[in-house]
Every structure is written in structure tokens, then in C-alpha cells.
Structure 1
Amino acid sequence: MKKKIIIIIFLLLSIIAILNYRVPFFHEIGGAWSIGYNFSKKFPNKIEIEKNKIYSVEDLKKISDSTQFLADPFFIKEKDSFYIFFEHKKIKKHPAEIGLLTSKDGEKYSYKGTVLKQKFHLSYPQVFKYKNNFYMLPESQGANNVILYKANKFPYEWTIEDTLIANIKLKDPTIFLSDTLNVIAATDSNTNLFIYTSKSLNSKWELHKKPIAMIGTEARPGGRFFRDSKGLILPIQNSKLGYGSGLSLYRFQFKNNVYSYEKIKNLFLSKNKSFKEFNYGMHHLDLQKVDDRYYYVYDGNRLETNSKKFNIKRSIKANFYDLKNWTLQTILK
């Protein structure tokens, strides 16, 4: 009997150790978010944060003193100007809005205020140009719909153009449009990354025949689809150390209505102790080719306190979803 008890205790302690190793019971607490950015002559295999410029929450507070944070930056270059759209939290109890920074050279930015405000929370303002019109696909899960906006007078005056996916709360919908492929990747509250496809931007968006791509601690988009010489890459948030703690890169391949993916860069972005703005973690990247160079913007947040928060429920849940994801991918293979 004593031997059985020892074995059971050993197994329980082993399970607890594994759970804690994968997703720690104690995790750091993140605070305010800021934005970093820079140019690169070639496709950046590594983001050298120490060489880049930062537009911090303090920079914005000098202009908008009620600012809580700025996050989820997406940029677009139009004619001779750069535009960064970002999630802007001004007042704690009010929903976040979409703010705008502009620049002539991509190095020195000016704050232009709020460009989109709704009764519900807005974030993740993916702005893109499609058939000579400017659109924004933000996170709008507070409206229980994935809502597309159109600029009547770019970069201002955004109005609802269409509801692409109705009656579902989806986080960080990320869109890719081309002549041969139209895809939206988005995640629900149970960390299921869904894949939707359509014939065009305004056609009916439907779940792919393999609707769930992944589940768990790496299953939420963290920026625009972008291309390298081998195809499409999607940034995916890593939340093992807490929300917003890291970002990995996955390559997606779509062919004949079938898709596959593989992780190509684990923790491409993560905390950097050398910078207070990013000493907790990073969770977003927008990388595009501009003229003959690459340009990228990203975000990160700082430690709110030196203490840590205990949350065993989060660890058990995250590990369960990761095990579910591993099982799903193993069966599919």
C-alpha cells in the first residue's frame, strides 16, 4: 500500500511539474503598451529592437494625457506618407478606440487623434487597400460580428461597409486577399484558430472544410499575413508566460482548397530586458515591403510590477488546449 501511495504522489508531482514547466503557475504582470518600428534593407530574419525607434506611451501622454496604452499597430504607406493605425486606450472604463500616427519619412511620427470610435471595444486595425479603396478590418468582437470599414476620406471618416462574419465573437481577424486566395484567420474565446475563405472581399465568407487550424497557447493571430521568398507567413501570439508575452512565425501553404502550416520561428519577438517598454513581452508585428526596402512596426508591453501572479487554473486550461491541439494535429497527419 505504501509503495502505491509513493508512486501516486510521484506521478502527481510529475504532472504538476510538467504543467508548471510548460505554462508557469506564477507569471509576471504586464502593464502599458508601446510601439516600435524601423526599415530594413533585406527581409529581417531578426528584429534588432536595440537599433529601432520607439513611440512610447509616455510620448503619447505628452499630447493625450489620459492615454493608457497604444498597441496592435498596422501601417500603410500611401504616396509620400506613412500611416500607423493602432489600438488606443484612453480612459480605463471606456472601450478602446483606433488612433492614428502619420509620418513623411517613416521615422518621426505625429499623433492625429482618433479615427474610429464605437460603443464597443476596437483593436487590431488592419488597414489595407483593395481595388483603389481603403478598408479597415479591426477586432470588433464586442459587436458579435466581424465588421469591415471603408474610408470615405482616407485616413479619416471610416464607415461600416459590410459584416463579413456574423453572430460570432472572433479575436484579431487577419485577412489576406489575392486573385487566387481570400482568407481570414481569427480566434475564439476557447483559443480555436478558425480559417474562413471567400471568392472575394464582399462575397460570403465560409469556414474552411478544415475549420480549426490550431488550438492552445499559440493559436491567435498577431499581425498581417506577409510574404517572403517561400510564401505566406502569419505571426501567431505565444501566451505561455501570459497574454502578450511572445510572438512566433508560422508558414501557411494553401493549394487546391487544402492548407498546411509549420512553425518557422519560435518566439521571433519576446521580452527584452534592456528596454522598459518591452521588458514584459511582445505580441504583434506588421511587416511589408515598401519600395525597395522592408518596413515593420510592432508592439510590446512593460512589467507593471516586480511581483508575480499565481494562476493554476490558467496553466491547467492552457495545457489542456495544447494537448488537444497536439492530438488534433497528430491525428490529421
Structure 2
Amino acid sequence: MEIAAHRPLKVAVLAKSRDRLEAWQLMVLDRLASEPLFDLASIIVHQSASKVRVPKLFALEARLERKFLTHETPYVPKSFSPETQRFDDMGSSDLETPQSRDILRRLMQDLEVDIVIRMTPSGLPIGVSDALPFGEWALSCSDQVSDDVDWFAYRGTISKAASVELLLYKSGGPDGSVDVVASSLFNTKTSAARVAASIKERGVTLLMRELRRLAETRQLRVIARRTISAIPPPSASELGRYVAALAGDLAARSIKKLRKKLRSGSSVWALYTGGGHIEDFDPQQAVEIPPTMNEIKADPFLFEHENECYLFCEAYADGQKNAHIAVGRFRGDKFEHLGIALRCEHHLSYPFVFRDGEDIFMMPERHQSRQLQIWRCVEFPLKWELYSTALEGRSAADSVLMRHGGKWWLFTNLSDFHDYEDHCCELYVFEVDGPKLKRVTPHRHNPVVIDSTLARNAGRMFERGGRLYRPSQRNAYGIYGYGLNIMEVDELSLDSYSERCIRTITPDFKKGLLGCHHFDEVANRYVLDARLT
């Protein structure tokens, strides 16, 4: 689809300071300044006092937690320059006064501003924002801040919610209703400050994706109409419960680190196998392939070869730092270990095995190498040679190749980050030329999914009866690999992508499970993994 040429989208940013910007805010400004789709017309500085009273005890706790439990390195812009950037300082006056309204209205008109991005808890007067072609946009993390304290993600963490929601919305009427442009869910952790810092980085990616879409189409895309209520800082009793839980978690993490030093305490996964397909398998009927402390198995992939069913998986011993790829085969429901298929200096997992013509390939995850690799089988199943590479310098996790509509597609989980790399939140799609990976063309709206409960791949993709399925991880409740989704892909092209969840498997199909995060099937046999408590 050809996109009509437009002048750059003229963007103004509403910030509370000229020189005290957070890393995520500098990331937004830097990307706006670097891309020809945008013209960063002005940064409007408004040093308004917060209308929310923050309890002193919480303010102290939040500052300490941010200092000791987050790692926020300074962000150095490559394209944005404060020395050459236009700033319009509104001081600390009330923007709702007639004088301030007039100043802002004239400023928007003189600069021909299309849209304002709000990075402050309060925004432009409604009469000013309504006059803009695309209004005023904000990420919901900007709503829950005072002068120097941030409580975004505290409410979800304290209530032990499954996830924390981030909204990107266009400001609406005085009743609090807004037009939601995009929304995402993110896994909770024990430290709310750390969750918030990570989500803000993901918010940069979400915001820039939707701004690019707007700049290309000049059409406002609204997915829902919502009413947003103000969320206050935690009360004293809530803060007490939160601090107690945080202290307990930090103690548990210290014990876990000690056990790792002593070469024990690895996460333990078991495999479960049975008969069925992705649409109808019943995990309650599955037979367990139990782990041993010398070989814990996860990320299982099945492969049929010469009328026998083989299983490739990530394997490691308790306390082992880096996993390798092991292979075995089924004799009925009994698993026979055959050996190590691949071992490298880096951690290996997710051994996606597939066939193209007469060749058999494996695309394992080794994101530490900052390179996507495909290996070709020389002697099945234990001898492999490096065949092709792609995405140099990128950290790709849980990648899948598939043919659909006469084309090859690569689905992978990359991480757009400054401080917080996270492979669970962003799904990227590329059209490629097949296993050679000489041509890799990105989707126009990458990442096509930004959501920790949906994005990360959880096994090979399936096309059956004209329907396309993608297993994905449901990372929630603070647990990596808590559950498993079956997604049905409704649209797939370089210009569009949409999918919907048609089924969710949670770790209650057997006793003693903490999570389940991978599925594969071949020849009426399926396999999934589950994390043991």
C-alpha cells in the first residue's frame, strides 16, 4: 500500500522542565528529532505545582525504591539538541486563565502544530487542545506523578493484579472520557518502581509506533472510548502491606542468588504430552515426562522424521548457567534421550526445527550473541552447521519462520530499550526470503504487538483449514511464563496485522504447577512444558 506524501507531522511537547527530563522523555524527544516524519516544533515548559497531596512517608519510600531498585542510566540524545530546540516557557501560571489560553492558542496557530504530546499530569485547556487537528495525546503513566514522586504501577502491584495497564489516549471532555489510541498490559513485579521504569520504556515504543501511523495516514485511529478516574498515591496501610511484601521478596531473591552461586536452585520445568491438536488438545489428559536434576527440559519442539517422532528441547542441569539443545524420540509416551544436538558458548533455548524441501533447519534462541542464526542439519539428529544469520546487533528471542500466502514470514521477540531489555513485550514481524535470510523486510507497524500477556512466541505457528494460529505466552501475576494463549491471526501483510486470543491455558490442569509457556504438535501428538512450584 502506497502512503501519500505529507509534510512532517508538527509536534509540540508539554513538559514540566527544560533540563530535568526523565530518560523515557528524552528518548521520545530524540526520536521525534531524528525521524523525517516529524517536526518537533516546540517544547512547552509548564512548571505547575501538583494538585495531588503525596504523603511524606510514601514520597520517601518511592525515592528510596527508585534509587536502589531501579537502574536508570543517563540517556544521551543523538539527534535532539536543547541548544537548537525551540522552548516556550509558560512558567508556573495556571494554563486555564484567559491570558494563558490566548498565548497557547496563538502559539499553536503560529507554529501550525498538529498534535501535542503531554508529559505532565495536567494538560492544555480543552479549548486549545480541541482546536488541534489531532488533539493532545498522553501516556497514562504521566497522570500519576507529583513534582518529584511517581506512583504509576503501585496500585496494581499492591493489589497483586495480573498486570498493569498502560494507555495512550487523546484527551477528551471535562467528564474524564478519552479516546484510547492504544493500550497494553504489562507483567507485575514486586517492585512497583522497577515496573514503572520498564513500562515507560515500552511506552516510548508504543507512542512512536502510533505517531508514525498518524504521520503516514493523517487519520486518528481510536480503539475505544474510556472514562479515566484519578488514581491517588497509596495510603499508609497500603504502603505498609507493600513494603512488607517487597522486603519478603528481596529476602527470597537474596536466597535464590546464593543458591545460584552454590550451583543449585534453577527453575524446574516438566514436559507433558498427549494426543490432539492446537484447537482441541486437553492438557488434563497429558502424560508427564518428568525432569531430573541432571536434565531439566523446556521449550519442546516436535519433529517427524522417517515415521518417528523426535523432540528437541532446551536442557540443563540444576545450577547450570547455560542450557544446550537436547534431542530424543518417543516410543509411545516414553521418551528416549539421544544426545546433545547443539551446544554453544551462549545460552541456547527454543530449538525451532523445520523442514524446507529436503533440508532440515533449526533456529534456536541465542539472544546473547545479538544475532539470529539458522543451522542446517548435516547428520540427523545430532550434527548441525551454521547456515545463515540475520538481525545483526539485535537481541532476538523465541523466533519462528513460517510460509503463509506464498511468502515466508519471520515472527520474533525483540526489545526496544535503554535500561530495561524485555523480550516478553514486543512482537516483530518481517517478510523474508526463507531460511537464507538474505532479504529481511520489516512490517510497517513493528512491533505489531506490545503487551506482555500476548506478545512472546510460545511455539511454532500452525495453518489449518485456512486459519492461522500463533501460540503465545501469557506473562502475568509477576510470573514469567504464567500461561499460554492460542492466538488466531486474522490479518497478515507488511501493512497490517491483527490477531485475537481464542483460548488460554493456565497452570491448573495438573497439581503443583506454577506456569506453562510453550506448545507444539505434530502427527496428532502435542507437547507443552510447565513450571513446577
Are 2:436 and 1:208 aligned?
no
Structure 2 Cα separation of the partners of residues 4 and 231 of structure 1: 50
Q: Which moved more, 1:130-139 or 1:18-27?
A: 18-27
Q: Give me the whole-angstrom Cα distance separating, in 2, the residues matched to 1:262 and 1:169.
A: 24
What is the identity, as a one-letter code, of the residue corresponding to 2:500? K
Question: Matches of 1:114 and 1:135 in 2, distance apart?
Answer: 16
What does residue 329 of structure 2 align with?
102
Relative to the length of structure 2, the TM-score reads 0.49
CA offset digits 1:251-289 (Å, max 9, x no partner): 22455533322223242x22126333xx1010001134x
Please point out which of 335, 342, 348 is paired with 1:122: 348
Q: What's 1:306 paired with?
A: none
Residue type of the alignment partner of 2:442 = L
Pick aligned residue for 1:66 from 285, 294, 314: 294
Q: Is the 8 A contact 1:252 1:259 kept in 2?
A: no
Q: In 2 relative to 1, CA 209–273 (structure 1 residues): closer, same or farther, beyond 3 Å? A: closer
Fraction of identical pairs, as percent: 19
Cα distance in 2, alignment partners of residues 141 and 302 from structure 1 = 25
1:161: how far off? 0.7
> Greater RCO between the two (CA within 8 Å, min separation 6)?
1
- Structure 2 contact 314–348 (Cα < 8 Å) conserved: yes
Is the 1:101–1:109 contact (alpha carbons within 8 Å) kept by the matching residues of 2?
A: yes
Q: 74-83 vs 88-97, which deviates more? A: 88-97
Corresponding position of 2:408: 182
Post-superposition Cα deviations, 1:136-172, rounded to whole Å, max 9, x if no partner, equal 0010112110000011011110111110322211111
Cα deviation code 1:293-327 (max 9, x no counterpart): x2211101111xxxxxxxxxxxxxxxxxxxxxxxx
Q: 2 CA distance for matches of 1:169 and 1:37?
A: 31
Q: Label 1:138 to 1:25 Cα distance change in 2 as closer, same or farther (>3 A).
A: closer
1:213-252 to structure 2, matched below 5 A, reads: 213-217=448-452, 218-241=454-477, 242-252=479-489
Deviation at 1:91?
5.2
Equivalent residue, structure 1, for 2:519:
285
Question: Does 1:274 find its partner at 2:510?
Answer: yes
Counterparts of 2:488 and 2:279, CA distance in 1:
14
State which structure, 1 or 2, has the greater radius of gyration over its C-alpha atoms: 2
Aligned length: 282
Distance 1:143 1:15, change over 3 A: closer
46-55 or 162-171, larger mean C-alpha shift: 46-55
Output the amino acid matched with 1:71: A
Partner of 1:325: none
Look up the match of 2:135.
none
The CA distance in 2 between the partners of 1:256 and 1:220, in whole Å, is 19
1:112 alignment partner in structure 2:
338
Residues 1:144 and 2:370 are matched in the alignment: yes
Superposed CA deviations along residues 47-76 of structure 1, whole A, max 9, x for unmatched, are 32231111111xxx3xxx533x21000001
Query: CA deviation digits over 1:78-101, x for unaligned, max 9?
Result: 122110000001252431000012
TM-score of the superposed pair, with normalisation by structure 1: 0.76
CA distance in structure 2 between the aligned counterparts of 1:187 and 1:256, rounded to whole angstroms: 18
Partner of 2:496: 259
Q: Compared with structure 1, are the counterparts of its residues 228 and 33 closer, same or farther at alpha carbon in structure 2 (3 Å cutoff)? A: same
> Per the alignment, in what secondary structure is the counterpart of residue 502 of structure 2?
strand
Name the one with the larger strand percent: 1
Q: 1:173 aligns with which of 369, 375, 399?
A: 399
Conserved? CA contact 1:250–1:261, under 8 Å: no
Structure 1 residues 39, 18: closer, same or farther in 2, change over 3 A? same
Aligned with residue 426 of structure 2, among 177, 184, 192: 192
Q: State the shift of 1:245 in Å.
A: 0.5
> In 2, Cα distance between the equivalents of 1:253 and 1:273?
28
Per-residue deviation, 1:228: 3.0
Equivalent residue letter for 1:168? R
Q: What SS does structure 2 have at the residue aligned with 1:50?
A: helix
Question: 2:283 aligned with 1:49, yes or no?
Answer: yes
Cα distance in 2 for partners of 1:254, 1:216 equals 18
Q: Secondary structure at the match of 1:142?
A: helix
Counterpart residue number, 1:89: 316
Q: Spell out the pairing of 1:291-302 with structure 2 (5 A cutoff).
A: 294-302=524-532
